[in-house]
Amino acid sequence: MRGILVLLAVIILAGLGYFFFWPQGGGEGSADGTMTGEDSGEASGEEMTTDTTSATDDDPYIWLEEVEGEEALAWVRARNEEALTDLKADPRYQDLYEASLEVYTSQERIVAGEPRDGFLYNFWQDETHVRGIWRRAPLEGYLVGAPDWDVLLDLDALAEAEDENWVWDGADCLRGSSRCLVGLSHGGSDANFVREFDLETRAFVEGGFYLDEAKQTAEWINEDTVLLATDRGEGSMTESGYPNTAAIWERGGVPEEAPLVFEGDLTDVGSFPGTYETPEGHYNVIVRARTFFEYEHYLVDADSTLTTLPAPARADLQGFHKGQVIFGLNEDWTVATSEGEETFPSGAVVSYALSDLAGGGALSAVHVVFAPEDRVAFQNAVLSGGALYVSILDNVVGRVDRATFDGTHWTLEPVALPDNGRAGIRATDDMSDKVFFAYESFLIPDSLYYAEDGAMPVQTQSLPEWFDAGGLVAEQHMATSADGEQIPYFLVRRADVPFDGSTPTLLYGYGGFQISMDPFYSGNVGRLWLARGGAYALANIRGGGEFGPAWHQAALLENRQRAFDDFIAVGEDLIARGVTSPERLGIMGGSNGGLLVGAVMVQRPDLINAVVCQVPLLDMLRYHMLLAGASWVGEYGNPDIPEEREFIAAYSPYQNLDSQADYPNTFVYTSTRDDRVHPGHARKMVARMIEQGHDVQYFERIEGGHSGGANLEQAAERVALEYIYLSRQLMD
């Protein structure tokens, strides 16, 4: 199944960025006190003044919001030249770049993919295939280490032939057919083109399904019909910039004229189709996101009518299995069943019979798949053709359970994967119980495991070590936040650090959108930082999903300051333990994490000596007016509402910059082609810092989208620039 979960995840990842701004993790080189209503005019840390002019046209740097404006791009190029000339002149730059590029382009990577119809489908990039190739191999040969790869689509060749900067955006293939819907984007933006592709001819279908560039979703109903959400012109896109309608698009028809089956409100986040393939049947659904966290779910029946799937507003559809509809709950759910009224807790996973919907009455029963425990939280579920696999964090350490349903209740059994790391579901086969699992930790490289029908997983691949982990330790500590909450964090360090405050330490955080930060292996962090004497810390602050919905909701809206206070507390704890000192402590974060480090820099410049701020949100009084920003009002609040504007203005980094403050030299990165977080945030912040006389280095990728680079060389360049900057600030 592609579509609904993937697309909603993209929206949710206001960042991380989870995909690339996860802090360059993985051997494949993939990247990311209390404020209450009564004291919302104040924030912890240094006293701040609030300037709200950026919400109006009086903002002196509003011209930098014109993404492709001639004057704005001239400013960008001037800043780029300054930063690149300076940082690349460092004699260490080339070595760091080559070390990072080796990670990104190495052939020694986990070759993973999607099992389907006896094949393993894989998208691959390396130094030869910089943009990448989409390929497949018979699953049997792949499992014994002898894959016979058949290239389906070469993006480098396609980009050259069509003179386009194509970036792969996935493929949705119809079961029992050779037809796929392939997504391609310009430079890595969220908006994409959709083109029908034939697996037998290895070519795009002439006169086939085709969509021009837009933020959109297309899902197969059958070989001649697609469930479509796209830009249909005026009134069809929400204020957040996503489709507001869903339509049935027949082959040969004009997509903008396809008959509608659903229409939401323009104030919604959007309406998103999705497809679930199971041995029992093919299910098409539409999820209406009224807000970022509140959904309505509809089943699209064979005659194109809609059936509502009962669930609370804050619930995530996980899929369909043996006639059951499965939801993860992000709030308590009180529901009438034939057994009486029952309440199921937030953080639980539940199911009910699809057949119950035909009668229109109460559900016959609601079954518990997973029940949350103290600091044991559900993360996500993935269906195979034979079972439901549930990913769980137990005090921020990953595990996977296999859930089976006997018609009356669910049984959970742990999958035998290694402990004390990140354990998760890599891929499943919709039609059979074939599952790939992934495991890694801070010091143990990625490994891929395979299992069928609930058997013991067998390791099929593992990565070589990118750095010498001998003498390094990974440990978990607790910091006490301003309101007394215990905040866990991981610390990777040399076992023999002197605890005299002299260790250069990089602290990473995210703290939003219920995204969890769990242990990971990173060739880049290891080679470019740990191997050179640095320590690395990963904070599990509120706003994330490490302990379920309540952990996330504790830092929403007027309580956003808690996330910043938690991060500050971790930094203070690192200093109190003697690991590091303010002169040796740096912070890094991307997207929502860019907001985090921007706010902490403004509030506590005395705590740190380096800030790496990646594709950030920084002008929080205008964020809802820029690109996808309106979709995040449920996370941050609405600046157009006076009482919400007050608590947002209290921490918004752009408004709270102080010309008299002693900020550390700061490195800010963004992308012109990022159509999720507007580059104007970073541009304006840097312009104001320069105006106030602060030291700041700025680099904007003219292409590359929210993920940070359109190809592997660009990704390696960004990483090298960041670690040269960190070396100068914390190691020299």
Catalytic position from the list 189, 236, 522, 591: 591
CA distance 525 to 677: 25
The answer to whether the CB of 558 falls within 8 A of the CB of 647 is: yes
Burial class (CB in 10 A: 0-12, 13-18, 19+), 552: buried
Question: Could you tell me if residue 673 is left (phi over 0), alpha (psi between -120 and 50 degrees) or otherwise beta?
Answer: alpha
CA distance 330 to 360: 25
CA distance 278 to 283: 8
CA distance 717 to 715: 5
CA distance 470 to 29: 21
User: Under DSSP, is residue 544 helix (H, G, I), strand (E, B) or coil?
Assistant: strand
Structure tokens at 204: 């795009």
CA distance 512 to 522: 22
Bridge partners (DSSP) listed for residue 329? 315
Angle at the Cα of 336 from the Cα atoms of 334 and 339, rounded to 5 degrees: 115
Structure tokens at 621: 């009084």
Bridge partners (DSSP) listed for residue 447? 439, 462
Catalytic annotation on 384?
Answer: no
Edge-to-edge order in the sheet of strand 505-508:
472-480, 486-494, 535-539, 505-508, 585-590, 610-614, 666-671, 696-701
Structure tokens at 361: 């009455």
Q: How many residues does the chain have?
A: 732
DSSP string over 187-241:
TT-S-EEEEEEETTTTEEPTT--EEEEES-EEEEEETTEEEEE---STTSB-TTS
CA distance 599 to 596: 5
Catalytic annotation on 694?
Answer: no
Edge-to-edge order in the sheet of strand 422-428:
422-428, 434-440, 447-452, 458-462
The answer to whether the CB of 271 falls within 8 A of the CB of 247 is: no
Catalytic position from the list 321, 624, 678, 706: 706
- Which active-site residues does the annotation give? 591, 706
